[in-house]
Structure 1
């Protein structure tokens, strides 16, 4: 009971973090397109396809599907994993347009849920619904209906190599000035301060851009202002501060920021060539696969020198399962989703194999460590910033990415970048 209360306190402290938004995203991982077929169906087996973007857990998730398929001989569940630099959302729409919509798929938050609301099943009465934290369910509800199943909680910031910092006597930076000084020291010592991975659209266009949105004094008011024309990127004080952070990462980043993808970014960090990278707790499995002894931690991403205001991680719900209303096996799909959060083996995979922070009050989370524990600690302390990107107009993050990559490549100025993202927002806003 103690562990459950602790997790409940976390989500209460996160307060309005999830109000009106879910995770995102983007939290995606991996590179390219990958499809795991699992066991081939035979006889009268019912086939279920699960579509998601978490390439970083594709092997572990396939193991879990194998367990499920063995326990349920009349059903064969297979996964289709599309993530990394591939736009999984566009490909998902292509699947549906071609009449090949998966039985179960993922949405990141309310903007996507709004897009798919007429295509998904109402899950309000499912057994797991009473066990999910209310704040986690906030980004899965529309019109009073629970249309998606929240799966986990994630956080991101600057992942750093504790051993390198200790070797160079660098204290974890709490302000932008301290971050620049740490980067200078790292560079002089022969390390790459930041592994960037800006070739990955979601790294730069979602998670990095979210920093400027999350530090707005009132995120919802800013979004409303962008939508009604009373707010603009060009004259926003936070976006002017954001330039200093962006320039710091570019100046002290790796020499190939626009060609390095997620895998390259993680590899540079895991092999000790780079001392920091902008990522979250979802990438722990890949790092430990390369370097089982990696000693790493998670730092906030500062945009100014207000140490107290900057000492916050970006935390959200990235993973919301939905069921295709046109599936021929809706009951089986519901059974599978319920199994994911109630079966003991499935729960152990969630926390021990996937290294996920569960969004449910009945799943033990005592084994959290490393980055996931950092996310939990910051959440307990109420030091969190929201994932605002699930509230953005759908598709604008891709255009943000292009404009920001243009700035990194010196194809446009920062002022021109802001004009481009303003134009994109105005074009796509509802």
Structure 2
């Protein structure tokens, strides 16, 4: 995850007290007032009896680009089809549904060739992806369709507006009057998918199954010690103390996190949203129930996140510091915890829910495991956080996992390519195609109404989930200032600077980054 921009904190995890078994996960595609299970089991209400037209019918546009040849390069990030069609020792993973979808599209439109962007460093952090995209865009070789965590690079002016296209029919779905009708209403306004004018710049394809990430835990170990997996932030530290005393590694971060930095998953899912939610009466300026980029920017300029002045801001940073000083083992930055985990020496490890299937098939693991969502911070730790609200059943409004953009610099002078890109996105979001993808992957949900739920998630759908606040705690608004803020945070954690200096410096950097962002985006601050 990108640690620099506040937009990296968009994954509003439904972090429940549920303890899932190793072969369960959950969620669904929900409307604004409904849980995932209610929507996923409903018929396709927005499209009536809409179904994908069978291959060989008059589905879709009669002709793309007037029949002229078009090569459409596509990046689906972690949903790219594998090169190997059979599992091997070197490449045990096989994922073919998106290739089948592309093949069917090319059969409908023989003049369009789909090429996969296989040089993208999938699995790297967001700043590394940004570097790759910058290089590709400069060379004119970037994919026309790409994944960028929604609107994460909004300040770079990379995104083709999609509002007009979403207002036209999806010709590949019979009876559809407007493409946007295929999606739950909340997704069309989701703060990670729109620009500063609240116009869509990304199309949701797949949703997280409630939580985006979870804590995989050694079920046998917890049972042998007579303790339960943590239900909140404070319980995690209580459990960790006992686990340390018994000689176990209490917690291991996600393997790609090797630095002391802000913006990591503990801030995104356990701590930041609940401190930010306590300020929503002041920061949700338009009272629409979510705090978007401009509102966060405005609140920053108003000093609401200023740790030099506000005790609650200081407390937020102190809680993030605790993970490094109280939870992680010595040498964590240079340790691969895979073998200690398999050997039963690691009690909990942080991982994406996308890894469920791989962990289920992990033959090296010597114990039964379970999964819990990242435990949220509650008032048992700090009175400065918002109360946690829970659904009766199922996660509430799951966030986008895979959402796709069309890159404006690549299509702006090529209308044929833009037309092909829009057509392929429409074809990809046919409910049957989305279902094919999520059923093969097994641990995610389709973003369109009527898409099927993977059986792996059945148990999870029956549980109660917290409703995550639609607000995030900002770090810096630009990469340059993000690096500076991370450096100050690292020095503070290591004891190389004191509280007062860090809090003052964090505000100074935040303010500078906000000013830079306002200038770069030419934002009108009249009335702020």
TM, length-normalised to structure 2:
0.62
Alignment partner, residue 208 of structure 1: 266
- In structure 2, what is the equivalent of residue 27 of structure 1? none
Match of 2:444 among 356, 366, 375: 356
Q: Is the 8 A contact 1:109 1:391 kept in 2?
A: no
Structure 2 counterpart of 1:90:
131
SS at match of 1:298: strand
Of residues 54, 63, 74, the one that matches 2:96 is 63
Distance across 1 between alignment mates of 2:169 and 2:474: 24
Equivalent position SS for 1:251 = helix
Cα distance, 1:299 vs structure 2: 3.6
Does the CA-based 8 Å contact 1:352-1:367 persist in structure 2? no
CA distance in 1, matches of 2:76, 2:136: 13
| Counterpart secondary structure, 1:190 | coil
Q: Deviations over 1:358-399 (max 9, x none)?
A: 2222211152439xx65x567x64532446279962436555
How far off is 1:410 after superposition? 4.5
1:82-231 alignment, distance < 5 Å: 82=121, 83-85=123-125, 87-110=128-151, 112-113=153-154, 115-116=156-157, 119-122=160-163, 123-124=165-166, 125=168, 127=170, 128-138=179-189, 139=191, 140-142=193-195, 143=197, 145-154=199-208, 155=211, 156-197=213-254, 199-200=257-258, 204-210=262-268, 211-216=270-275, 217-219=278-280, 221=282, 223=296, 224-231=298-305
**C-alpha distance in structure 1 between counterparts of 2:337 and 2:180, whole Å:** 37
CA distance in 1, matches of 2:73, 2:348: 37
The structural deviation recorded for 1:413 is 4.5
The count of corresponding residues between Structure 1 and Structure 2 is 390
Taking the aligned partners of 2:505 and 2:333, their CA distance within structure 1 comes to 18
Contact 2:214 2:352 in 1 (8 A): yes
Cα offset, 1:103, TM superposition: 0.8
User: How far, CA to CA, are the matches of 1:57 and 1:190 in structure 2?
Assistant: 42
Query: 2:161 and 2:199 mapped to 1: Cα distance?
Result: 11
8 Å contact 2:221–2:347 — kept in the other structure?
yes
Partner SS state of residue 258, structure 1: helix
Contact 1:267 / 1:290 at 8 angstroms: preserved in 2? no
What SS does structure 2 have at the residue aligned with 1:297? strand
Q: What secondary structure does 1:96 align onto? A: helix
Give the TM-score, by structure 1 length: 0.74
Q: Aligned with 2:371: secondary structure?
A: strand
Bigger drift between 175-184 and 383-392 goes to 383-392
Unmatched runs of 5 consecutive residues or more in structure 1: 1-5, 16-43
Pairwise CA RMSD: 4.0
Alignment match of 1:254 (pick from 322, 329, 334): 329
Aligned to 1:272: 344
Instruction: Tell me: higher relative CO, structure 1 or 2? Use CA pairs within 8 A at least 6 residues apart.
Output: 2
In the other structure, the counterpart of 1:79 is 117
The answer for the alignment partner of 1:232 in structure 2 is: 306
Change beyond 3 A, Cα 1:70–1:177: closer
Match of 2:400 in 1: 317
Contact 2:227 2:239 in 1 (8 A): yes
1:41-100: CA deviations, max 9, x gaps?
Answer: xxx974322235538996768633432343325423313432324621232123223322
The answer to whether the 8 A contact 2:434-2:451 is kept is no
1:233 and 1:219 mapped to 2: Cα distance? 17
Residues 205 and 190 of structure 1, relative CA distance in 2, 3 Å threshold? same
Instruction: Report the counterpart of residue 51 of structure 1 in structure 2.
Output: 75
Which is strand-richer, 1 or 2?
1
* Matches of 2:169 and 2:241, distance apart in 1: 53
Contact 1:213/1:219 (CA < 8 Å) preserved in 2? no
Deviations 1:130-149 (A, max 9, x none): 11111122132344643310
Following the alignment from structure 2 to structure 1, what is the Cα–Cα distance between the partners of residues 281 and 401? 19
Cα distance, 1:418 vs structure 2: 3.8
118 and 188 in structure 1: CA distance in 2 versus 1, 3 angstrom threshold = closer
Q: What is the aligned partner in structure 2 of residue 306 from structure 1?
A: 380
Deviations 1:7-48 (A, max 9, x none): 465753589xxxxxxxxxxxxxxxxxxxxxxxxxxxx97432
Structure ID, larger Rg:
2
Question: What is the alpha-carbon distance in structure 1 between the residues aligned to residue 404 and residue 181 of structure 2?
Answer: 16
